[in-house]
Protein backbone atom coordinates (compact mmCIF):
# COMPACT_ATOMS: atom_id res chain seq x y z
CA UNK A 1 0.00 0.00 0.00
CA UNK A 2 2.90 2.36 0.82
CA UNK A 3 4.48 1.63 -2.56
CA UNK A 4 1.26 2.55 -4.39
CA UNK A 5 0.97 5.80 -2.43
CA UNK A 6 4.59 6.65 -3.24
CA UNK A 7 4.06 6.08 -6.98
CA UNK A 8 0.93 8.27 -7.11
CA UNK A 9 2.67 11.03 -5.14
CA UNK A 10 5.66 10.90 -7.47
CA UNK A 11 3.45 11.22 -10.54
CA UNK A 12 1.65 14.25 -9.07
CA UNK A 13 4.98 15.91 -8.29
CA UNK A 14 6.30 15.24 -11.80
CA UNK A 15 3.17 16.63 -13.49
CA UNK A 16 3.09 19.67 -11.18
CA UNK A 17 6.76 20.40 -11.87
CA UNK A 18 6.30 19.96 -15.64
CA UNK A 19 3.64 22.68 -15.62
CA UNK A 20 5.20 24.85 -12.91
CA UNK A 21 8.50 25.21 -14.74
CA UNK A 22 6.66 26.93 -17.61
CA UNK A 23 5.00 29.59 -15.45
CA UNK A 24 7.97 31.85 -16.21
CA UNK A 25 6.86 31.89 -19.86
CA UNK A 26 3.45 33.42 -19.01
CA UNK A 27 2.46 35.39 -20.94
CA UNK A 28 4.28 34.29 -24.10
CA UNK A 29 5.59 37.12 -26.28
CA UNK A 30 5.28 37.18 -30.06
CA UNK A 31 8.36 35.58 -31.64
CA UNK A 32 9.04 33.30 -28.66
CA UNK A 33 9.14 29.49 -28.74
CA UNK A 34 6.03 27.68 -27.52
CA UNK A 35 6.81 25.58 -24.40
CA UNK A 36 6.01 21.84 -24.37
CA UNK A 37 3.26 21.85 -21.71
CA UNK A 38 1.16 18.65 -21.39
CA UNK A 39 -2.47 19.37 -22.37
CA UNK A 40 -5.56 17.16 -22.30
CA UNK A 41 -7.06 17.14 -25.79
CA UNK A 42 -10.24 15.55 -27.13
CA UNK A 43 -11.66 14.41 -30.45
CA UNK A 44 -15.27 13.29 -30.31
CA UNK A 45 -15.62 11.15 -27.17
CA UNK A 46 -11.96 10.17 -26.91
CA UNK A 47 -9.24 12.06 -25.03
CA UNK A 48 -5.43 12.04 -24.95
CA UNK A 49 -2.55 14.02 -23.47
CA UNK A 50 -0.27 15.87 -25.85
CA UNK A 51 1.78 19.06 -26.19
CA UNK A 52 1.80 21.70 -28.90
CA UNK A 53 5.38 20.59 -29.61
CA UNK A 54 3.98 17.28 -30.88
CA UNK A 55 2.67 19.20 -33.89
CA UNK A 56 6.05 20.64 -34.88
CA UNK A 57 6.28 21.07 -38.66
CA UNK A 58 2.59 21.99 -38.83
CA UNK A 59 0.97 25.43 -38.64
CA UNK A 60 -1.13 25.53 -35.46
CA UNK A 61 -4.29 27.61 -35.17
CA UNK A 62 -5.65 27.94 -31.62
CA UNK A 63 -9.28 29.03 -31.97
CA UNK A 64 -10.31 30.46 -28.57
CA UNK A 65 -14.09 30.34 -28.22
CA UNK A 66 -16.92 30.20 -25.67
CA UNK A 67 -20.31 28.49 -25.47
CA UNK A 68 -21.85 31.99 -25.28
CA UNK A 69 -20.18 33.17 -28.50
CA UNK A 70 -22.53 32.56 -31.44
CA UNK A 71 -19.98 33.83 -33.99
CA UNK A 72 -17.42 31.32 -32.68
CA UNK A 73 -19.82 28.38 -32.94
CA UNK A 74 -21.14 29.29 -36.40
CA UNK A 75 -17.53 29.51 -37.67
CA UNK A 76 -16.61 25.94 -36.60
CA UNK A 77 -17.58 24.34 -39.94
CA UNK A 78 -15.26 26.85 -41.64
CA UNK A 79 -12.43 25.76 -39.31
CA UNK A 80 -13.16 22.10 -40.09
CA UNK A 81 -13.03 22.88 -43.81
CA UNK A 82 -9.56 24.40 -43.44
CA UNK A 83 -8.40 21.32 -41.52
CA UNK A 84 -9.61 19.00 -44.31
CA UNK A 85 -8.30 21.24 -47.10
CA UNK A 86 -4.77 21.55 -45.72
CA UNK A 87 -4.55 18.10 -44.09
CA UNK A 88 -1.40 17.44 -42.07
CA UNK A 89 0.05 20.85 -42.97
CA UNK A 90 -2.02 22.52 -40.23
CA UNK A 91 -3.63 21.63 -36.93
CA UNK A 92 -6.77 23.52 -35.87
CA UNK A 93 -7.44 23.26 -32.12
CA UNK A 94 -10.58 24.63 -30.47
CA UNK A 95 -9.81 26.04 -27.00
CA UNK A 96 -12.35 27.12 -24.38
CA UNK A 97 -12.40 27.80 -20.66
CA UNK A 98 -15.84 26.15 -20.57
CA UNK A 99 -15.91 22.63 -19.14
CA UNK A 100 -16.49 19.51 -21.24
CA UNK A 101 -19.90 19.17 -19.57
CA UNK A 102 -20.88 22.72 -20.62
CA UNK A 103 -19.82 22.01 -24.21
CA UNK A 104 -21.84 18.78 -24.33
CA UNK A 105 -24.88 20.60 -22.92
CA UNK A 106 -24.53 23.08 -25.80
CA UNK A 107 -24.56 20.27 -28.37
CA UNK A 108 -27.65 18.73 -26.72
CA UNK A 109 -29.36 22.12 -26.82
CA UNK A 110 -28.72 22.34 -30.59
CA UNK A 111 -29.45 18.72 -31.53
CA UNK A 112 -33.01 19.41 -32.74
CA UNK A 113 -32.00 22.43 -34.80
CA UNK A 114 -31.28 21.34 -38.42
CA UNK A 115 -29.12 24.40 -39.07
CA UNK A 116 -26.90 23.58 -36.07
CA UNK A 117 -26.02 20.01 -37.05
CA UNK A 118 -22.98 21.13 -39.02
CA UNK A 119 -21.74 23.10 -35.98
CA UNK A 120 -21.94 20.02 -33.76
CA UNK A 121 -20.28 17.86 -36.43
CA UNK A 122 -17.38 20.30 -36.82
CA UNK A 123 -16.99 20.68 -33.06
CA UNK A 124 -16.59 16.90 -32.70
CA UNK A 125 -14.29 16.46 -35.70
CA UNK A 126 -11.69 19.01 -34.61
CA UNK A 127 -9.29 18.66 -31.67
CA UNK A 128 -10.67 20.55 -28.69
CA UNK A 129 -9.32 21.59 -25.31
CA UNK A 130 -12.01 22.25 -22.71
CA UNK A 131 -11.75 23.67 -19.19
CA UNK A 132 -8.51 25.36 -20.26
CA UNK A 133 -6.51 27.60 -17.93
CA UNK A 134 -2.97 27.06 -19.26
CA UNK A 135 -3.32 28.40 -22.81
CA UNK A 136 -5.43 31.31 -21.58
CA UNK A 137 -2.50 32.33 -19.34
CA UNK A 138 0.06 31.70 -22.07
CA UNK A 139 -1.89 33.85 -24.55
CA UNK A 140 -3.98 36.37 -22.51
CA UNK A 141 -6.64 38.18 -24.53
CA UNK A 142 -9.98 39.98 -24.28
CA UNK A 143 -13.02 38.81 -26.25
CA UNK A 144 -13.74 35.81 -28.44
CA UNK A 145 -13.23 34.63 -31.08
CA UNK A 146 -9.48 35.10 -30.76
CA UNK A 147 -7.11 33.23 -33.08
CA UNK A 148 -3.53 32.47 -32.05
CA UNK A 149 -1.14 31.41 -34.82
CA UNK A 150 1.95 29.26 -34.22
CA UNK A 151 4.27 28.67 -37.17
CA UNK A 152 5.88 25.41 -38.29
CA UNK A 153 8.93 26.09 -36.10
CA UNK A 154 6.79 26.31 -32.94
CA UNK A 155 7.14 30.10 -32.76
CA UNK A 156 4.26 32.30 -31.57
CA UNK A 157 3.45 34.18 -34.80
CA UNK A 158 0.41 36.35 -33.99
CA UNK A 159 -2.75 36.86 -31.96
CA UNK A 160 -5.43 38.07 -34.37
CA UNK A 161 -9.10 38.66 -35.02
CA UNK A 162 -10.94 35.94 -36.91
CA UNK A 163 -11.07 38.22 -39.97
CA UNK A 164 -7.47 37.15 -40.68
CA UNK A 165 -8.38 33.48 -40.83
CA UNK A 166 -8.61 32.46 -44.47
CA UNK A 167 -6.98 30.12 -46.98
CA UNK A 168 -4.50 32.79 -48.14
CA UNK A 169 -3.19 33.30 -44.58
CA UNK A 170 -2.74 29.56 -44.07
CA UNK A 171 -1.02 29.10 -47.44
CA UNK A 172 1.53 31.80 -46.59
CA UNK A 173 2.31 30.29 -43.18
CA UNK A 174 2.63 26.81 -44.70
CA UNK A 175 5.08 28.26 -47.23
CA UNK A 176 7.10 29.84 -44.40
CA UNK A 177 6.08 33.41 -45.25
CA UNK A 178 4.59 36.09 -42.99
CA UNK A 179 1.01 37.12 -43.77
CA UNK A 180 -0.56 40.42 -42.67
CA UNK A 181 -2.77 39.81 -39.64
CA UNK A 182 -5.53 41.94 -38.10
CA UNK A 183 -3.67 41.68 -34.82
CA UNK A 184 -5.08 42.00 -31.33
CA UNK A 185 -2.97 44.09 -29.00
CA UNK A 186 -3.92 43.87 -25.34
CA UNK A 187 -3.68 47.23 -23.62
CA UNK A 188 -5.06 48.31 -20.25
CA UNK A 189 -6.85 51.65 -20.44
CA UNK A 190 -6.88 54.04 -17.46
CA UNK A 191 -10.48 55.18 -17.78
CA UNK A 192 -10.25 57.57 -14.80
CA UNK A 193 -7.34 59.45 -16.42
CA UNK A 194 -7.81 60.01 -20.18
CA UNK A 195 -4.61 62.05 -20.46
CA UNK A 196 -2.61 58.96 -19.52
CA UNK A 197 -3.45 57.62 -22.97
CA UNK A 198 -1.20 60.28 -24.49
CA UNK A 199 1.91 59.13 -22.60
CA UNK A 200 2.06 55.97 -20.52
CA UNK A 201 5.50 56.92 -19.14
CA UNK A 202 4.72 60.43 -17.98
CA UNK A 203 0.98 61.13 -17.90
CA UNK A 204 -0.16 64.70 -17.35
CA UNK A 205 -2.03 64.88 -14.05
CA UNK A 206 -3.68 68.03 -12.76
CA UNK A 207 -6.74 67.81 -10.54
CA UNK A 208 -7.74 71.35 -11.45
CA UNK A 209 -7.29 70.93 -15.21
CA UNK A 210 -10.03 71.51 -17.73
CA UNK A 211 -9.42 69.80 -21.02
CA UNK A 212 -10.86 68.00 -23.99
CA UNK A 213 -9.10 66.11 -26.74
CA UNK A 214 -9.68 63.69 -29.57
CA UNK A 215 -7.50 60.82 -30.74
CA UNK A 216 -7.84 58.27 -33.56
CA UNK A 217 -8.70 54.62 -32.90
CA UNK A 218 -6.53 52.87 -30.29
CA UNK A 219 -6.11 49.09 -30.63
CA UNK A 220 -6.91 47.58 -27.21
CA UNK A 221 -7.70 43.97 -28.17
CA UNK A 222 -11.48 44.07 -27.77
CA UNK A 223 -12.61 43.76 -31.38
CA UNK A 224 -15.50 46.08 -32.12
CA UNK A 225 -16.10 46.91 -28.47
CA UNK A 226 -15.45 50.43 -27.22
CA UNK A 227 -15.52 51.83 -23.69
CA UNK A 228 -17.48 54.73 -22.23
CA UNK A 229 -17.17 55.99 -18.67
CA UNK A 230 -18.36 59.13 -16.89
CA UNK A 231 -15.83 61.18 -14.94
CA UNK A 232 -17.54 62.32 -11.74
CA UNK A 233 -16.81 64.85 -9.03
CA UNK A 234 -18.17 65.30 -5.48
CA UNK A 235 -21.60 63.74 -5.07
CA UNK A 236 -21.00 61.68 -8.22
CA UNK A 237 -22.02 64.62 -10.40
CA UNK A 238 -20.75 64.34 -13.96
CA UNK A 239 -17.65 66.44 -14.64
CA UNK A 240 -16.50 64.79 -17.85
CA UNK A 241 -16.38 61.64 -19.94
CA UNK A 242 -13.86 59.11 -21.27
CA UNK A 243 -14.69 57.44 -24.59
CA UNK A 244 -12.53 54.84 -26.33
CA UNK A 245 -13.15 53.70 -29.92
CA UNK A 246 -16.61 55.19 -30.42
CA UNK A 247 -18.23 56.08 -33.75
CA UNK A 248 -19.28 59.64 -34.58
CA UNK A 249 -22.91 58.57 -34.28
CA UNK A 250 -22.47 57.07 -30.79
CA UNK A 251 -20.61 60.18 -29.60
CA UNK A 252 -23.46 62.46 -30.70
CA UNK A 253 -26.06 60.15 -29.16
CA UNK A 254 -24.21 60.38 -25.84
CA UNK A 255 -23.76 64.16 -26.05
CA UNK A 256 -27.48 64.69 -26.63
CA UNK A 257 -28.75 62.32 -23.94
CA UNK A 258 -31.92 63.44 -22.10
CA UNK A 259 -32.65 66.17 -24.66
CA UNK A 260 -35.81 64.42 -25.93
CA UNK A 261 -38.40 63.90 -23.21
CA UNK A 262 -39.18 60.22 -23.78
CA UNK A 263 -35.67 59.06 -24.73
CA UNK A 264 -32.72 59.08 -22.26
CA UNK A 265 -30.48 58.15 -25.21
CA UNK A 266 -31.68 59.31 -28.63
CA UNK A 267 -32.55 56.32 -30.86
CA UNK A 268 -31.51 56.20 -34.51
CA UNK A 269 -35.13 56.80 -35.49
CA UNK A 270 -34.87 60.32 -34.06
CA UNK A 271 -31.63 61.22 -35.86
CA UNK A 272 -31.48 62.98 -39.21
CA UNK A 273 -28.10 63.07 -41.01
CA UNK A 274 -28.03 65.75 -43.71
CA UNK A 275 -25.40 66.44 -46.40
CA UNK A 276 -23.01 63.94 -44.89
CA UNK A 277 -21.35 60.68 -45.84
CA UNK A 278 -23.30 58.22 -43.69
CA UNK A 279 -20.48 55.66 -44.04
CA UNK A 280 -18.54 57.77 -41.52
CA UNK A 281 -21.33 57.42 -38.96
CA UNK A 282 -22.06 53.68 -38.93
CA UNK A 283 -20.85 50.43 -40.48
CA UNK A 284 -22.81 48.96 -43.34
CA UNK A 285 -20.64 46.38 -45.09
CA UNK A 286 -19.47 42.78 -45.02
CA UNK A 287 -17.97 41.05 -41.98
CA UNK A 288 -14.49 41.06 -43.55
CA UNK A 289 -14.55 44.88 -43.65
CA UNK A 290 -15.46 45.49 -40.00
CA UNK A 291 -11.93 45.76 -38.62
CA UNK A 292 -10.77 48.26 -41.25
CA UNK A 293 -13.90 50.38 -40.77
CA UNK A 294 -13.47 50.50 -36.99
CA UNK A 295 -9.83 51.52 -37.30
CA UNK A 296 -10.72 54.36 -39.67
CA UNK A 297 -14.04 55.57 -38.23
CA UNK A 298 -13.92 55.26 -34.44
CA UNK A 299 -12.30 57.80 -32.15
CA UNK A 300 -11.21 58.37 -28.57
CA UNK A 301 -12.34 61.43 -26.62
CA UNK A 302 -11.52 62.80 -23.20
CA UNK A 303 -13.34 65.68 -21.51
CA UNK A 304 -12.97 67.14 -18.03
CA UNK A 305 -14.71 70.33 -16.91
CA UNK A 306 -14.42 72.54 -13.84
CA UNK A 307 -18.20 72.51 -13.40
CA UNK A 308 -20.38 70.13 -11.43
CA UNK A 309 -23.28 70.18 -13.84
CA UNK A 310 -24.13 67.33 -16.25
CA UNK A 311 -25.97 69.60 -18.71
CA UNK A 312 -22.96 71.93 -19.01
CA UNK A 313 -20.61 68.99 -19.55
CA UNK A 314 -22.79 67.67 -22.37
CA UNK A 315 -23.05 71.14 -23.89
CA UNK A 316 -19.23 71.32 -23.97
CA UNK A 317 -19.16 67.94 -25.67
CA UNK A 318 -21.73 68.92 -28.32
CA UNK A 319 -19.60 71.92 -29.29
CA UNK A 320 -16.43 69.81 -29.32
CA UNK A 321 -17.98 67.26 -31.66
CA UNK A 322 -19.19 69.97 -34.05
CA UNK A 323 -15.75 71.60 -34.12
CA UNK A 324 -13.72 68.42 -34.51
CA UNK A 325 -15.89 66.71 -37.12
CA UNK A 326 -16.88 69.99 -38.83
CA UNK A 327 -20.59 69.43 -38.29
CA UNK A 328 -23.51 71.46 -37.01
CA UNK A 329 -25.90 69.67 -34.67
CA UNK A 330 -29.14 70.71 -32.98
CA UNK A 331 -32.54 69.47 -31.81
CA UNK A 332 -35.18 70.66 -34.29
CA UNK A 333 -38.84 70.05 -35.07
CA UNK A 334 -38.96 68.47 -38.52
CA UNK A 335 -41.60 66.84 -40.70
CA UNK A 336 -40.09 63.43 -41.42
CA UNK A 337 -41.12 60.27 -43.25
CA UNK A 338 -42.49 57.49 -41.05
CA UNK A 339 -43.73 53.96 -41.62
CA UNK A 340 -47.12 53.41 -40.00
CA UNK A 341 -48.72 50.03 -39.28
CA UNK A 342 -52.53 50.23 -39.63
CA UNK A 343 -55.38 47.75 -39.18
CA UNK A 344 -58.38 49.22 -40.96
CA UNK A 345 -60.05 45.82 -41.53
CA UNK A 346 -58.71 43.11 -39.21
CA UNK A 347 -59.18 39.61 -40.65
CA UNK A 348 -61.07 37.28 -38.31
CA UNK A 349 -58.28 34.69 -38.58
CA UNK A 350 -55.94 37.16 -36.86
CA UNK A 351 -58.09 37.45 -33.74
CA UNK A 352 -56.88 35.15 -30.97
CA UNK A 353 -58.54 31.84 -30.20
CA UNK A 354 -57.19 32.07 -26.66
CA UNK A 355 -54.68 29.80 -24.96
CA UNK A 356 -51.35 30.52 -23.31
CA UNK A 357 -49.75 33.75 -24.48
CA UNK A 358 -46.45 32.89 -26.21
CA UNK A 359 -43.92 33.79 -28.87
CA UNK A 360 -42.07 30.72 -30.05
CA UNK A 361 -39.78 29.74 -32.91
CA UNK A 362 -40.33 26.35 -34.54
CA UNK A 363 -37.55 24.70 -36.56
CA UNK A 364 -38.24 22.74 -39.73
CA UNK A 365 -36.14 21.52 -42.65
CA UNK A 366 -37.44 24.50 -44.64
CA UNK A 367 -36.23 27.08 -42.13
CA UNK A 368 -39.06 27.12 -39.61
CA UNK A 369 -41.58 29.72 -38.53
CA UNK A 370 -42.54 32.03 -35.67
CA UNK A 371 -45.70 31.23 -33.71
CA UNK A 372 -47.46 34.11 -31.98
CA UNK A 373 -50.36 32.98 -29.82
CA UNK A 374 -52.63 35.26 -27.81
CA UNK A 375 -50.20 38.21 -27.91
CA UNK A 376 -50.70 41.95 -27.95
CA UNK A 377 -50.64 43.71 -31.31
CA UNK A 378 -47.78 45.85 -29.95
CA UNK A 379 -45.50 42.79 -29.73
CA UNK A 380 -46.27 41.94 -33.36
CA UNK A 381 -45.58 45.53 -34.41
CA UNK A 382 -42.13 45.37 -32.78
CA UNK A 383 -41.22 42.34 -34.92
CA UNK A 384 -42.10 44.22 -38.09
CA UNK A 385 -40.10 47.17 -36.79
CA UNK A 386 -36.89 45.07 -36.88
CA UNK A 387 -37.36 44.32 -40.59
CA UNK A 388 -37.95 47.99 -41.39
CA UNK A 389 -34.91 49.12 -39.40
CA UNK A 390 -32.75 46.56 -41.24
CA UNK A 391 -33.58 48.37 -44.48
CA UNK A 392 -33.13 51.85 -43.05
CA UNK A 393 -31.71 52.09 -39.52
CA UNK A 394 -32.83 55.73 -39.28
CA UNK A 395 -36.42 55.08 -40.32
CA UNK A 396 -39.27 56.07 -38.03
CA UNK A 397 -42.04 53.60 -37.20
CA UNK A 398 -45.49 54.35 -35.78
CA UNK A 399 -47.87 51.73 -34.43
CA UNK A 400 -51.15 53.11 -35.75
CA UNK A 401 -53.26 50.00 -35.09
CA UNK A 402 -56.62 50.44 -33.36
CA UNK A 403 -57.31 46.80 -32.55
CA UNK A 404 -57.12 46.34 -28.76
CA UNK A 405 -57.55 42.57 -28.59
CA UNK A 406 -54.86 39.90 -28.74
CA UNK A 407 -53.88 38.09 -31.95
CA UNK A 408 -52.73 34.70 -33.27
CA UNK A 409 -50.46 34.50 -36.29
CA UNK A 410 -47.86 32.16 -37.79
CA UNK A 411 -45.10 33.87 -39.76
CA UNK A 412 -42.54 31.91 -41.82
CA UNK A 413 -39.02 32.82 -40.65
CA UNK A 414 -38.26 33.75 -44.26
CA UNK A 415 -40.68 36.68 -44.05
CA UNK A 416 -38.95 38.16 -40.98
CA UNK A 417 -35.42 37.90 -42.37
CA UNK A 418 -33.73 41.26 -41.99
CA UNK A 419 -32.55 41.06 -45.60
CA UNK A 420 -36.13 41.10 -46.89
CA UNK A 421 -37.62 44.27 -48.32
CA UNK A 422 -40.51 46.15 -46.74
CA UNK A 423 -42.64 45.25 -49.78
CA UNK A 424 -42.29 41.53 -48.95
CA UNK A 425 -43.62 42.29 -45.46
CA UNK A 426 -46.46 44.39 -46.90
CA UNK A 427 -47.58 41.56 -49.19
CA UNK A 428 -47.59 39.09 -46.30
CA UNK A 429 -49.65 41.36 -44.01
CA UNK A 430 -52.28 42.34 -46.59
CA UNK A 431 -54.53 39.22 -46.25
CA UNK A 432 -54.72 39.87 -42.47
CA UNK A 433 -56.09 43.37 -42.93
CA UNK A 434 -52.79 44.99 -41.90
CA UNK A 435 -50.89 47.55 -43.96
CA UNK A 436 -47.70 49.60 -43.76
CA UNK A 437 -48.06 53.15 -45.10
CA UNK A 438 -45.58 55.95 -45.57
CA UNK A 439 -46.71 59.09 -43.74
CA UNK A 440 -45.09 62.38 -42.71
CA UNK A 441 -45.19 63.60 -39.12
CA UNK A 442 -43.68 66.52 -37.25
CA UNK A 443 -41.46 65.51 -34.35
CA UNK A 444 -38.31 66.63 -32.51
CA UNK A 445 -35.16 65.06 -34.01
CA UNK A 446 -31.40 65.44 -33.68
CA UNK A 447 -30.19 66.98 -36.94
CA UNK A 448 -26.49 66.52 -37.84
CA UNK A 449 -25.26 68.25 -40.97
CA UNK A 450 -21.92 68.99 -42.62
CA UNK A 451 -20.76 72.59 -42.54
- Condensed to tens digits (0 to 9), the pLDDT of residues 275-316 reads 878 889 988 888 788 888 999 999 999 999 887 788 899 999
Q: In the prediction, which pLDDT does 300 show? A: 95
Q: In the prediction, which pLDDT does 7 show? A: 42
Q: In the prediction, which pLDDT does 8 show? A: 39
Q: In the prediction, which pLDDT does 101 show? A: 96
Burial class (CB in 10 A: 0-12, 13-18, 19+), 306: exposed
Residues of the chain with pLDDT under 70: 1-25, 198-209, 222-224, 415-420
Q: In the prediction, which pLDDT does 421 show? A: 74
Q: In the prediction, which pLDDT does 12 show? A: 41
Q: In the prediction, which pLDDT does 205 show? A: 55
DSSP 225-279: --EEEEEE-GGG-EEEEEEEEEEHHHHHHHHTTT-BTTBSS--GGGEEEESS-GG
Boundaries of domain holding 234 = 211-325
Residues 373, 302, single domain; the answer is: no
Q: Dump pLDDT digits (tens) for 74-113.
A: 999 999 999 999 999 999 999 999 999 999 999 998 888 8
Strand ordering across the sheet containing 435-450: 271-274, 435-450, 327-342, 396-399
Q: In the prediction, which pLDDT does 368 show? A: 82
Residues 48, 160, single domain; the answer is: yes
Q: In the prediction, which pLDDT does 419 show? A: 56
Residues 69, 115, single domain; the answer is: yes
Q: In the prediction, which pLDDT does 4 show? A: 44
Q: In the prediction, which pLDDT does 306 show? A: 81
How many domains are contained in the chain? 3
Residues 68, 107, single domain; the answer is: yes
Q: What are phi and psi of 42, to 5 degrees?
A: -135, 145
Residues 312, 383, single domain; the answer is: no
- Quick check: bond before 145 cis, omega within 30? yes
Residues 255, 285, single domain; the answer is: yes
Q: In the prediction, which pLDDT does 320 show? A: 97
Neighbour-count burial for 41-58, b at 16+ CB within 10 Å, e otherwise: bbeeeeeeeebbeebeeb
SS3 at position 112: coil
Q: Which of 314, 296, 260 is nearest to 447 (CA)?
A: 260
- Rounded CA separation 229/429 (Å): 44
Q: In the prediction, which pLDDT does 204 show? A: 56
Q: Is residue 183 part of a domain?
A: no
Q: In the prediction, which pLDDT does 310 show? A: 85
Q: In the prediction, which pLDDT does 193 show? A: 79
Residues 341, 321, single domain; the answer is: no
Q: In the prediction, which pLDDT does 231 show? A: 87
Spell out the residues 6+ positions from residue 194 whose beta carbon is closer than 8 angstroms to its own: 213, 231, 240, 242, 300, 302, 303, 304
Single residue among 146, 174, 202 that ends a domain in this structure: 174
Residues 306, 408, single domain; the answer is: no
The answer to whether residues 349 and 432 touch, using CB atoms and an 8 Å cutoff, is yes
Residues 317, 341, single domain; the answer is: no
- Rounded CA separation 149/320 (Å): 42
Amino acid sequence: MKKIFFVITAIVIIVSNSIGQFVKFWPLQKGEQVPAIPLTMRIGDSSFVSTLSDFKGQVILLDFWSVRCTDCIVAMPKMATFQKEFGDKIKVILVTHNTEEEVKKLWVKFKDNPAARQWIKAGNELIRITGDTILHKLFPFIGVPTHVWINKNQVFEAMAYSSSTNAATIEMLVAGRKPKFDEKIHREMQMDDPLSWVSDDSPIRDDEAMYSFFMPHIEIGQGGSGIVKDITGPGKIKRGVSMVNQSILEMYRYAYQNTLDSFPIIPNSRILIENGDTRRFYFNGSVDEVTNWLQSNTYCYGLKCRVNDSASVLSFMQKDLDRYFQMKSSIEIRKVKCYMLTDSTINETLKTKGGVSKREKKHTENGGYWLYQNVKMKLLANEFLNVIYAQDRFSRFIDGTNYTGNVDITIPSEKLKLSKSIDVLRDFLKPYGLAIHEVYREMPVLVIRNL
